[in-house]
Amino acid sequence: MPELPDVVVYVEGLAARIVGSKLECVRLVSPFVLRTAVPPLSAAEGRTVTAVRRLGKRIVLALEGELFLVLHLMIAGRLRWLETGEKPPARITLALLDFPRGSLAFTEAGTKKRASFHVVQGEAALREFDLGGLELADSRLDAFRERLVSANHTLKRALTDPRLFSGIGNAYSDEILHRARLSPIAMTAKLKPDEIERLHRAAREVLAEWTARLRAEAAGRIPTGVTAFRPEMAVHGKYRQPCPVCGAPVQRIVYAENETNYCARCQTGGTILADRALSRLLKSSWPRSIDELG
């Protein structure tokens, strides 16, 4: 799922292309993606885009008259800019937004059909999509601490809860926890003050660094190749590959459709965390420490 750095760069690329332009037509290719009926989608046509915003992991196109188009890419949704006359991607295009300079294609690979498109009228209606997560870029340590310990969760769950923190998902939570040298299953209520400070610093650094990196890659364009798995990442998607800090093989915990990646030596004192499926299968053969893998 595109997270804060990806969404920020999407917003910047879109703003450079469509703010001040008239939305001439909205072509709905897959009707399921539209999750609202009032106002009608046709109400957006002929209106000028006044701004492009980020709302958590959502992208908001603000049109004149306080009409808003809210796009949530979810896991497989992406945005592509098509020059005039360029054909949209076959089979995966959900909707096309036509502007004088070209079209914005809203696509989704796969069959899950999770991406969504809402049309809402007024700032009050738009605020209903704001889950209230803290924006970390300019957050103070005391505000971060208050959110973090407001409920006793694992660090992985706390960081990815959009009601606590804005824009963080599976990928960047792994990177943040590795930078902070903290276990993904550590409980928020048991963190020491220096650990909270370290986590706050790591979260701000990782998000800022990746936003800058992706911004440089996009070079003012709408980004292509948006993915949660990047070769420059420290641990996310790097199972069994060497940790860039200590060289130990990166470990993982698999659950549902997600996985948590971590370095046992850097983050858990050498302990390999139980993976629900594998540890049950291997039982007594399940390695308890990173040294047992050697």
List the chain pLDDT tens, one digit each, 294 residues: 899 999 999 999 999 999 999 999 999 999 999 999 999 999 999 999 999 999 999 999 999 999 999 999 999 999 999 999 899 998 999 999 999 999 999 999 988 889 999 999 999 999 999 999 999 998 999 999 999 999 999 999 999 999 999 999 999 999 999 999 999 999 999 999 999 999 999 999 999 999 999 999 999 899 988 999 999 999 999 999 999 999 999 999 988 778 899 999 999 999 999 865 544 433 443 345 444 444
Q: What is the pTM of this model?
A: 0.92
Query: Which amino acid, 188?
Result: T
Are the C-beta atoms of 49 and 23 separated by less than 8 Å?
yes
Are the C-beta atoms of 272 and 287 separated by less than 8 Å?
yes
Query: Quick one: which H or E segment has residue 265?
Result: helix 264-267
Do residues 172 and 277 both lie within one domain?
yes
Do residues 25 and 149 both lie within one domain?
no
Number of domains making up the chain: 2
**Which residue, 82, 289, 89, 264, is CA-closest to 184?**
264
Do residues 122 and 171 both lie within one domain?
no
Do residues 149 and 289 both lie within one domain?
yes
Q: Are strands 49-55 and 25-28 parallel, antiparallel or unpaired?
A: unpaired
**Domain residue limits at 112:** 4-127
Do residues 149 and 104 both lie within one domain?
no
Are the C-beta atoms of 176 and 163 separated by less than 8 Å?
no
Do residues 16 and 108 both lie within one domain?
yes
Of the chain, the end-to-end C-alpha distance in Å amounts to: 34
Do residues 288 and 147 both lie within one domain?
yes
Q: Are strands 251-255 and 77-83 parallel, antiparallel or unpaired?
A: unpaired
- CATH number for the domain including 67? 3.20.190.10
